[in-house]
Amino acid sequence: MSHPASEASPAPDASTSPVGAEGSVPATAQDAGPVAQPEPSGPALLEVKDLLVTFGRKKAFRPLVETRAVDGISFNLYQGETLGLVGESGCGKSTTARGVMRLVEPKSGSVKLNGKELLGLPIKELRPARKDIQMVFQDPYSSLDPSMLVRESIGEPLDVHMKMNRQQKTERVAELLRLVGLPPDYMVRYPHEFSGGQRQRLTIARAIAADPKILVLDEAVSALDVSTQNQVIDLLEELSQKIGLTYLFIAHDLSVVRHISDRVAVMYLGQIVEHGPTKAVFDEPAHPYTEALLSAVPIPSPKTQRSRERIVLAGDPPDPSRVPPGCRFHTRCAYAMDICRTVMPQPTPKVGGGEVACHLHTSGPMLQGRSLRIISTGSTRTIENDAAQVVA
């Protein structure tokens, strides 16, 4: 949400580095694409590395079926920013959040909060560390105990994490209600007396009660109508400025993600296939999956009002317990090459900042190290660079 200062490092050389793809029409000389914007510098508030979360399904007389719901993902979250996590249903967004919070136990990897490793930490030591990272879920109706007064619900984390007397607690609850735009005298009401938007404000008040550094928002505005959604998003932006909150924002609605996020990570079948600054990812999606996902988003800016063709992905994502070999997206990718069926692509830097894991940007004798554009015209989709044209 803040716009982290970017390091003054040179832009990757377009002739030698993997390059960002063009949305749907070829780039022109005047439209050279986004300027390289590296990840924010300095130590990350949250560092996630090679996170693996699996679920096992054991059936009688059959071997264990393992679902790699989150399969070795890595990302950083920097102070004051909002990182949007997007992808189709079932790609592992919620499991990533739950793994980071250790609401499900990751099988391996590393999650460092302010440099402190959370994985493997005994529960007794995990509890105080968890104070700094709180979660807001989609359903405000189930997040608040209907039998508890607002004062008790919001005050609960204060009992767990802070030693406050009754008077201090009442003052803090009043302050929190004001912070989320509700009158303090609402503290003596029950959740059923509030609208959906007000309840989500109460949930946010409860989440920020113990002064966390990070809020993980898992579809936190998805259940709200559009105008209430906008109000809650405004509130989140306000809170980020007032109390310096950092957000991991998980949502289906890409327009909302575009509005609120500084950077975006795109997940497919348990892996991050592309990440980068929001503008770069939305204006110049480099991965064919990102391209397809974003093709459904209305384009608000007249500058980018190019003929973005709606790309409908065939079928559902494969079963995560039986992931395809090579690039996981190759079974639905319009540009799949032979290499995509056997070799898993590695993340490589892209113009505009961030990384993409796609062979189009790194491999293939004709594409290696060349400037690349994805062009969609009607039913024909072409990958073009200065050396070659491959019709997919």
Region binding ligand ATP by CB under 6 A among candidate stretches 25-33, 84-92, 224-232, 307-315:
84-92
Candidate ranges 23-31, 86-94, 197-205, 366-374; the one touching ligand ATP (CB under 6 A): 86-94
- Minimum gap (Å) between residue 3 Cβ and ligand ATP: 27
Nearest distance in Å: CB 71, ligand ATP: 10
Is 30 one of the binding residues for ligand ATP (CB under 6 A)?
Answer: no
Lookup: tokens for 221:
């505005």
Structure tokens at 95: 């499991």
Q: Say if CB 53 and CB 75 are below 8 A apart.
A: no
Interacting span for ligand ATP (CB under 6 A) from 18-26, 83-91, 195-203, 338-346: 83-91
- Give the bridge partners for 77, in sequence order: 46
Binding residues for ligand ATP, total number by CB under 6 A: 12
Q: By CB under 6 A, tell whether 263 contacts ligand ATP.
A: no
CB atoms inside a 10 Å sphere around CB 176: 24
> Cα(29)–Cα(26) distance, rounded to whole angstroms?
10
122 CB-near residues (< 8 Å, 6+ apart):
none
Q: Using the rule CB under 6 A, which residue among 79, 94, 198, 278 binds ligand ATP?
A: 94
Q: Does 106 bind ligand ATP (CB under 6 A)?
A: no
Is residue 55 a contact point for ligand ATP (CB under 6 A)?
A: yes
Which DSSP state fits 197? Answer: H
Measure the CA–CA gap between 49 and 34, rounded to whole angstroms: 27
Q: Which is nearer to ligand ATP, 103 or 391 (CB)?
A: 103
| Of the residues 72, 90, 184, 318, which one makes contact with ligand ATP according to CB under 6 A | 90
Cβ-count burial 204-221 (b if 16+ within 10 Å, e if not): bbbbbbbebbbbbbbbbb
CA 102/CA 386 separation, integer angstroms: 47
Interaction between residue 54 and ligand ATP (CB under 6 A): no
Looking at residue 318, its amino acid is P
CA distance 126 to 260: 30
Q: Give least dist CB 354 to ligand ATP, A.
A: 20
322 contributes a contact to ligand ATP by CB under 6 A: no
Per-position x/- string for 273-312, each x denoting binding to ligand ATP as judged by CB under 6 A, each - no binding:
----------------------------------------
CA-CA distance, 289 to 178, in Å (whole number)?
42
- Does 248 contact ligand ATP by CB under 6 A? no
* Distance of alpha carbon 60 from alpha carbon 30, whole angstroms: 63
Give the binding site for ligand ATP (CB under 6 A).
55, 67, 69, 87, 89-95, 320
